[in-house]
Structure formats: structure tokens, C-alpha cells
Amino acid sequence: MAIKKRRTDRKRLENRLDFLAHHDEMTGLLNRRAGLKCLTAKWEGYNCYGNALCIAILDIDHFKQFNDTYGHHIGDEVLIELSRFLLEEVRTSDSRLGGEEFMLNLPGADNKGPLER
């Protein structure tokens, strides 16, 4: 029984480490490295096949002042809620670049019509 529990614990730890290798721990969004890897793949698709490529960088203005005024724990809650919105309402390929900066991948965005989800 103890061996089976150790295997389960080990597998759980491996899954957690795999998640952390690709995701921001606080927000659950892709981390900077994984987001840039996704962007590189999209750039290659653009170069090779002419696929549409559009990204947006989202930066929360004056966030340091917000943290200084309300505290980092409240600032973290704001980032978590914003990230939850992005995960639920936008795309799983969006990423947290760092601090209060996010990269949004906008597949299908062009000058002809609305964005795909």
C-alpha cells in the first residue's frame, strides 16, 4: 500500500512541476516562456502559411501605485481575477509576461471581421 501511495504522490508532484514549468503559479495563465513559445509558433505559421497573426499587450497602468495604496495581497487578487476572466472568456493561449503585463493572442484577427474565440 505504501508503494502505491508513493507512486501517486510522485505522479501528483510531476504533474504539478509540469504545470509550473508552463504556467504562472498565481494566475494559472501561461508563463512568459510558454507564452513566447506560443507566439513563436504563431509567427512561424504566419511566415510559412500566411496565417493571421495578431497579439495585444495588456498593461495595467499605475499598478505599483495601486499595490502601494491597497497592499500587494489586494493587487494579487486583482491579477487573479483578471486572469480568471482571460481564462474563462478569452483564450488559453494568453500569458502573463510578468508583473501586471499580459500578452493576448488574437487568432483570426484581421481587418475583415470579428475575432475568433
Q: Quick check: 32 and 21 in contact, CB under 8 A?
A: no
- Catalytic (active site) residue 25: no
In the set 25, 77, 89, 100, the catalytic residue is 100
In DSSP terms, which residues pair with 103 in a beta bridge? 57, 95
Residue with cell 512561424: 44
Q: How many CA atoms lie within 13 A of 10 on its CB side?
A: 6
Output DSSP code: residue 102: E
* CB-neighbour burial class of residue 95 (10 A; exposed 0-12, middle 13-18, buried 19+): buried
Residues labelled catalytic: 100
